[in-house]
Amino acid sequence: MKTAIVTGITGQVGSYLAEHLINDNYKVYGIIRRASSFNTQRINHLYKNPNLELIYGDLVDSSGLTTTIGDIKPDHFYNLAAMSHVRVSFDTPEYTGDVDGLGVIRCLEAIRKTSPKTKFYQASSSELFGSSLPPQNEQTPFHPRSPYAVAKLYGYWATVNYREAYRLFCSNGIVFNTESPRRGETFVTRKITRALGRIVYDLQDKLFLGNIDAKRDWSHAKDSSRAMKMMLEHDKPGDFCIATGKSYSVMEFLEEAFGLCDLKYQDYVEFNPKYLRPSEVDHLMGNASKAKEQFGWEPEYSFKELVKEMVDADLEIAKKEYIIKLDKI
């Protein structure tokens, strides 16, 4: 049985990746941070599976990472953990750099010292491109526009360097915006569908957003996590853009989502400048030709399918909240 370590397993992408790996008969070790409360909702359905084991760890703890990797010597190591909210990174730049930048070095050093045959995947981001014009591919110049993107750029080049300097199997997945019903509620797509469900059931009146003209290449987390697994099962490492090749603005996401409920977003959405970034990224759209050519990855979900799945899921959540509210009256 092959083994894999996944950091960030409790996140949306990590949970789908764990499913892919377990379904393919991998033993999965998920690294989670110790906290006073559990944050494992996305993987609770996997708890009884004997091929999943959770281990306490943290990207700021190099000794713990070295011990864990040295003991398990996994076939694959997927580094998905991060301070992942771009807007928040402006408020916590030092912490973001420590986790998203130096955290990658800690993982790579632990692999180099204790398990050099382990294949390493680094979750890079389309935010690396920043203000570079679309469509973006592996040759597009980087121009990071946030502390998050700057830290991710450090992690990206560290991954390349360890591949070239130490001949480790290290790959970067430059993944464009990844969404699903498991997306965190502070991210714009889930914020929209969550609010929409509550609006439909009269639990919420307004939704406040920042820049709705920003355009993004929206992928389903099932598609992007599948690409990560394929990347490490490929016969040689590299750096790959993972994207649909199509972009839609936040406004278009609003129109599609609210339209599914026969509503106009203009009646409910209001602008709030506190959600603007100090430096904005206007348009990200990727070209995943390299991934398609080298290991056959293509997205399976369309934009409309993604939005509908998210809306349907959040309507169900809002319905349950509405029933609970009625029971209390």
Catalytic residues, which ones? 125, 127, 148
Write out the two tokens for 210.
């920042």
- CA–CA gap between residue 329 and residue 3 (Å, rounded): 51
Residue 79 contacts residue 123 (beta carbons within 8 Å): yes
H or E element, residue 179: strand 178-179
CA–CA separation, 200 vs 112, rounded Å? 53
b/e string for 148-168 if b means 16 or more Cβ within 10 A?
bbbbbbbbbebbbebbeeeeb
Q: Where are the beta strands (DSSP E) in 12-146?
A: 27-32, 52-56, 76-79, 119-125
118, 134 contact by CB (below 8 A): no
